[in-house]
């Protein structure tokens, strides 16, 4: 046996090149990020008409904007005249319209072309037809999700379905009232690793005992290494002495009002493919969005969401934030340690999936099917 062969009885992970090959990443951009519902912004980040945020979805730059009627719209960030990027800032606010910096074509907040130098002399330029190209947008859990596909997949099946499949029903997440929570802290991580290493890491608990000392203190069952948190409806129970989901297990905040008794003192983790992780605890929610930017680099934006009262009263959220911030740093360091080895000949045929990681095997199956389709 050469060093790269696995014994037949063990299931292999994806081969190393899936994590390093720009051609695989290009396929993922086309068949995953651009074809699925992709979570882009917290709706409250765009508070007033004209507030916008520019985000990267697959190969496209997308502009998400609050319109005059109060709703959110999304467009490709490309001028219809000669293709200049309309907006180069990551976020901001315009008064009434977006003006292209090249020849000053101007688009209103609904994307309609409203002005262009000498346009009156050009007959038959339809202002809607030559407006910004719209992108499908849905709001759920207080976030905007966009889809670049001409015919998007069912939001209910793909996004809501992922949550209900994990929790057993949609009411279980509704009770946390995510859309009414306030961002108490946001941390953006620039992770030098392929997005799939991050997702696979999130989906397993095999590493918890090794790299998450604080988390396993609060959630003792994680020390066993089994991904019990992925059984339908199962929430990991806080340790007996633990008062709250904080870095030292000390007291947190009051339970969110809708959270049921059987959800109290429990942690639920949900993966919504392709790029969202949601963590529910009684007094707050930790919400991750990934933005894969290259085969070996992923930006992760992580929000800690609390009740409005907690944030507005200025209460100190730092001990609560610190727990998952440490978990993030520990996880991302592990992913970054793994990334360089993906191009080693030792990993040419992949590594090993231990039996408790069958759901990661299912993720690989799902991915390879999407890429071949
Ligand atoms: Fe935008 Fe010409 S490219 S106005
Ligand atoms: Fe982890």
The residue among 101, 126, 147 that closes a domain is 147
For residues 204 and 351, what is the distance between their CA atoms, to the nearest angstrom?
A: 15
Q: Examine the domain organization and report whether 311 and 187 are in the same domain.
A: yes
Say whether both 221 and 337 belong to one domain. yes
**Total structural domains in the chain?**
2
Residues 6+ apart with CB under 8 A from 280: 173, 176, 235, 263, 267, 268, 269, 270
CATH of the domain at 130: 2.102.10.10
What was the ipTM of the complex prediction? 0.97
Q: Does residue 82 line the site of ligand 1, with CB under 6 A?
A: yes
Confidence of residue 285 (pLDDT cuts 50, 70, 90): very high
Task: Please tell me if the CB atom of residue 98 comes closer than 6 angstroms to any atom of ligand 1.
Answer: no
**Torsion sign, CA atoms 324, 326, 330, 335:** positive
Q: Does residue 195 sit in the same domain as residue 305?
A: yes
Ligand 1 pocket, residue 81 CB under 6 Å: yes
75 and 138 part of one domain: yes
Tell me, yes or no, whether 57 and 135 share the same domain.
yes
> Looking at the domain assignment, is residue 316 inside a domain?
yes
Q: Among 94, 125, 147, where does a domain finish?
A: 147
Indicate if 307 and 250 belong to the same structural domain.
Answer: yes
Q: 69 with 110, same domain? A: yes
Tell me which residue range forms the domain holding 41: 37-147
Q: What percent of the chain has pLDDT over 90?
A: 84
> pTM of the prediction?
0.95
Q: What are the tens digits of pLDDT across the range 76-105?
A: 999 999 999 999 999 999 999 999 999 999
Residue 121 — very low, low, confident or very high, per pLDDT cuts 50/70/90?
low
The gap from C-alpha 231 to its chain's centroid, in whole angstroms, comes to 21
**What are the pLDDT digits (tens) for 268-284?**
999 999 999 999 999 99
8 is a domain residue: no
Please, what is the average pLDDT of the chain? Answer: 93
pLDDT of 154 higher than 60: yes
Same domain, 200 and 278: yes
Q: Are residues 205 and 247 in the same domain?
A: yes
- Determine the residue of 105, 114, 117, 119 to mutate for testing ligand 1's pocket, defined as the one with the most ligand atoms within 8 A of the Cβ atom: 105
User: Residue 2 — very low, low, confident or very high, per pLDDT cuts 50/70/90?
Assistant: very low
């Amino acid at each position: 046996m050469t060093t790269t062969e696995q014994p037949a009885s063990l299931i292999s992970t994806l081969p190393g090149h899936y994590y390093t090959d720009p051609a695989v990443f290009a396929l993922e951009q086309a068949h995953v990020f651009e074809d699925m519902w992709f979570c882009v912004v917290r709706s409250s980040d765009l508070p007033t008409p004209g507030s916008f945020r520019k985000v990267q979805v697959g190969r496209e730059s997308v502009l998400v904007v609050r319109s005059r009627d109060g709703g959110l719209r999304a467009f490709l960030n490309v001028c219809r005249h000669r293709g200049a990027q309309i907006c180069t800032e990551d976020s901001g606010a315009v008064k009434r319209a977006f003006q292209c910096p090249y020849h000053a074509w101007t688009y209103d907040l609904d994307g309609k072309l409203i002005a262009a130098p000498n346009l009156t002399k050009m007959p038959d330029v339809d202002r809607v037809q030559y407006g910004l190209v719209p992108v499908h947008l849905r709001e759920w859990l207080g976030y905007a999700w966009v889809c670049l596909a001409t015919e998007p997949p069912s939001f209910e099946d793909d996004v809501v379905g992922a949550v209900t499949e994990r929790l057993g029903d949609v009411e279980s997440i509704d009770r946390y009232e995510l859309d009414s929570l306030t961002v108490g802290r946001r941390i953006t991580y620039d992770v030098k690793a392929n997005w799939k290493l991050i997702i696979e890491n999130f989906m397993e608990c095999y590493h918890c005992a090794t790299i998450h000392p604080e988390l396993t203190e609060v959630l003792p069952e994680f020390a066993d290494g089994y991904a019990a948190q992925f059984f339908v409806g199962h929430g990991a129970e806080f340790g007996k002495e633990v008062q709250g989901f904080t870095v030292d297990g000390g007291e947190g905040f009051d339970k969110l009002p809708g959270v049921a008794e059987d959800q109290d003192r429990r942690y639920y983790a949900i993966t919504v493919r392709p790029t969202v992780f949601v963590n529910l605890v009684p007094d707050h929610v930790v919400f991750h969005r990934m933005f894969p930017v290259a085969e070996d680099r992923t930006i992760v934006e992580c929000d800690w969401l609390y009740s409005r009262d907690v944030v507005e009263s200025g209460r100190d959220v730092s001990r609560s934030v610190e727990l998952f911030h440490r978990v993030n740093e520990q996880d991302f360091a592990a992913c970054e340690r793994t990334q360089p080895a993906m191009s080693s000949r030792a990993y040419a045929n992949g590594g090993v999936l231990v039996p408790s990681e069958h759901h990661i095997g299912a993720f690989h199956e799902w991915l390879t099917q999407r890429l071949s389709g």
